[in-house]
Amino acid sequence: MGGHSRDEVEQAFREYIRVGAVGEDWEAWADLFTDDAVYIEHVLGTMTGRSQIKPWITQIMAAYPELYTVYEWHMIDGDRVVFYMQNRRDNPEPDKPPIDFPGITILNYAGDGKWDYEEDFWAFPMAQKAQAAYVDARAKHDPEHSLKMSRQHWPDSPDWARGPAQGPKAR
């Protein structure tokens, strides 16, 4: 059992989603981690501390501007939060569904609105397939699609996990 109230952990998680997945302010999102946080990304490596997390997340998200995170569900067990999401790209082909691959994140809440642990799991073969499908659709229908940062397929609910139809840096 964790040392923080469920309400505090829930509010911190909503802020984590609001700043990162919805607001895409990755520098501010990295500031939600403690100085000594451990971030394990099973495909891309392990970062220790906010000083490693911040440049890594800003660089990786800048490299994939078309990719956004769509919340599906979460659970809280003490200070631990587990959530499931879709890593989503809007389809460059008009009227076609988005191109997704799933992921699960485990977080540990440290208090004062900060996280001291994150571990990400995502379906690597599905990610590769999604990337190939996106590149193909972009080449055929809209070569500049990734620069538009379209965000057309947010979840229906909850409201706190929905962003604008176009990203904050849309052109």
The CATH number that applies at residue 45 is: 3.10.450.50
* Number of compact structural domains in the chain: 1
**Which pLDDT score, from 0 to 100, does residue 107 have?**
98
In a domain, 133, yes or no: yes
Q: Which residues form the domain of 104?
A: 6-161
Does residue 78 lie in a domain region?
yes
Sorting pLDDT into bands at 50, 70 and 90, what band is 169? very low
Which pLDDT value is given to residue 171?
A: 32
Task: Flag whether 29 is in a domain.
Answer: yes
pLDDT in tens, 89-141: 999 998 999 999 999 999 999 999 999 999 999 989 999 999 999 999 999 99
Average pLDDT of the segment spanning 143-157: 92
Q: What pTM was computed for the model?
A: 0.93
Token duo for residue 91: 């389809």
Longest dimension (CA), the chain: 53
Strand 33-41 relative to strand 45-48: parallel, antiparallel, unpaired? Answer: antiparallel
**Distant-in-sequence, close-in-space partners of 53: CB < 8 Å, separation ≥ 6:** 30, 33, 37, 39, 47
